[in-house]
Structure 1
Amino acid sequence: MKLQVLVDNNTYIDHYYLGEPGVSYYVEIDDKKILFDAGYSDIMIRNAHSLGVDLKKITHIVLSHGHDDHSKGLKYLFSQFSLPNATLVAHPGCFAPRWEQGRYIGSPFSEEEIAKLCLYQPSRTPCYISENCCFLGEIPSSNPFEERPGTGTVLLDGKEVPDRVLDDSAVVCRTGKGLFIITGCSHSGICNIVEYARQVFGCSRIAGIIGGFHLFDADARLYKTIDFLESSSVESMYPCHCVSLRAKAEMMKHMEIKEVGVGLSLQF
């Protein structure tokens, strides 16, 4: 498995790429070339070009959830590339309209529109992209401390209701060192994601985790998350995007935290 960071909040010192508060990773595993999330703007495309990633060759697009900092880049991707044979995998609620404080924060496309641009494959249940790579689908809640207070509102069945971001998911890659988990924001709870990944693959060893953990405050949830991850003996931790500096500082007291920025390349 190979992973390259195309979009993150940060860029490395003296690495002249572009950053924004979004997520996009390019993943190669087995014979698949996967774009995981698309960021907020066209910088995913610009950074990919600078990093030598050929987006014309992607076989799959996977969305962690429908918020615009993960999905809006699709607007620019499909305006520049024709990808009718690429398979897009996402939770079926991913393309529902969303708002927060009066601002639209959902995907730039509806389900009907996205199905005309690529091979749309919605899934609430685990969906294998390849032998060693799986989209988890809807994540079960197994840890009481990982509540889902929600973010804004979503249009479901013609009604605008509080959005609990049930479409939030992750991708898991099986490597020789164990499972490597790729998240977007972990609205569903990073510990819930880890437990479900283990259940789906029947493997307890976690080689690494990269992505947003949606942790901001030094509160009970953060410390219970730290306890869970520490007891899970995760070998490589790459918290980024929606993880505050304060949360990272607390995590670093208990485990090694690795820096993430555009241009980071990982191989397992």
Structure 2
Amino acid sequence: MGKNIPLLEIDEVKITIIMDNTTDAFMTSNEIVHRFDISKGPLISNDGFSTIVAEHGFSAMIQVKCGNKQGAVLYDTGVSPGGTLHNMSVMGINVNDMQAIILSHGHLDHTTGLPELIDKLGPHQIPLILHPDALLERKVIMPGGYETNVSAPKLTDLQQDKIVFVKKIDPTLLVDDMILVSGQVDRTTDFETGFPIHYTKRNGQWENDPLVLDDQCVIVNVRGRGLVVITGCCHAGVINSIRYAQALTHCQQVYTVLGGFHLTGGIFEKIIPETIAELQKINPTYLMPGHCTGWSAIHQIAQAMPEAFIPNNVGTTLVFQADR
């Protein structure tokens, strides 16, 4: 990949984890890591759920600022119809403040909240950034033959009228060139070989689809610090995703990597050592693995790179500012 995407270096990025697999009401904050303050309200919200809920899904708000320019996007929408909306309401986040919605890929744990989020949109259409494969039917066939549907939800005609589909394989710049959606990630490592039990329906026929080519990450470049790479599930592989971000931007300095690294389960745990070895070579200042990274990988990353490691938690906001 020889592209040189003109991604603007920014003054500040705030990344808020709206939905993820874990919640801990008593995590402490620091200058960079801001945890949701449970003292601001009751432990049980008006809808009867916990103030902040966790589920096997992912959603993040990404806010950027450069000079007098600023904006925000929503990256993924969680695994339940209302979980992400619930947490957004508790955190005071309005979906109508988003300039775009981005889907990391088309699996249900990243897309099921989309219809209800669209229903909350105002009269102005909002771009939905996704790979052309993202809305195809998907399933996983377990070793014993059990099949699980992992497809994204169907949108009604009214819901489709409230968004503008931006289906692209190539990268997309958003918010005055301050946010980059990677598009389809080049696969360059020899150990990140995909999800062998994954299938996609094309032209009415199911076919084995281990690569999940619709997987895409989000990239920002904090001035003087380097790249911040946000991943949803990382079916492309976290090392492939970082390398692709470096290649797209012609920036080798990686400041932070966060999100799902897809290293959980027997298929992927065997590549944890190689992944950590490459992460150590890349040497990001911060790492916050979450969602599908898995207990074993998270603990091994924490042990191998303790100074970089940040524990993940729903409601966490990371604030990264330019080097003054």
TM-score normalised by the shorter chain: which range applies?
A: over 0.9
Distance 2:156 2:214 in 1: 14
What is the match of residue 19 of structure 2? 7
Structure 1 unaligned regions, length at least 5: none
Percent of aligned pairs sharing the same letter? 26
Distance 2:150 2:108 in 1: 5
Q: Indicate whether 1:254 and 2:299 are aligned.
A: no
Distance 2:123 2:76 in 1: 15
- State the one-letter code of the partner of 1:67: H
2:150 aligned residue (88, 100, 105): 105
State the 1:219 CA deviation.
4.8
State the 1:5 CA deviation.
0.8
1:141 aligned residue (173, 177, 187): 187
Determine if contact 1:84/1:119 at 8 Å carries over to the other structure. Answer: no
What is the match of residue 214 of structure 2? 167
- State the one-letter code of the partner of 1:231: K
CA RMSD of aligned residues (A): 1.9
Determine if contact 1:59/1:85 at 8 Å carries over to the other structure. Answer: no
Q: 1:103 to 1:172 in 2, by over 3 A?
A: same
Q: Indicate whether 1:205 and 2:253 are aligned.
A: yes
Determine if contact 1:7/1:25 at 8 Å carries over to the other structure. Answer: yes
Q: 1:111 to 1:251 in 2, by over 3 A?
A: farther
**TM-score normalised per structure 2:** 0.78
Q: Indicate whether 1:63 and 2:108 are aligned.
A: no
The structure with higher relative contact order (CA 8 Å, sep 6+) is 2
**TM-score normalised per structure 1:** 0.94
Stretch moving more, 118-127 or 246-255: 246-255
What is the match of residue 319 of structure 2? 267
Larger radius of gyration: 2
Provide the secondary structure at the position in 2 that maps to 1:38: coil
Residue-by-residue CA offset, 1:77-112 (whole Å, 9 max, x unaligned): 123334642111111111111123433211112698
- State the one-letter code of the partner of 1:251: I
What is the match of residue 3 of structure 2? none
Q: Indicate whether 1:155 and 2:190 are aligned.
A: no
- State the one-letter code of the partner of 1:24: S
Distance 1:47 1:197 in 2: 29
Provide the secondary structure at the position in 2 that maps to 1:242: helix
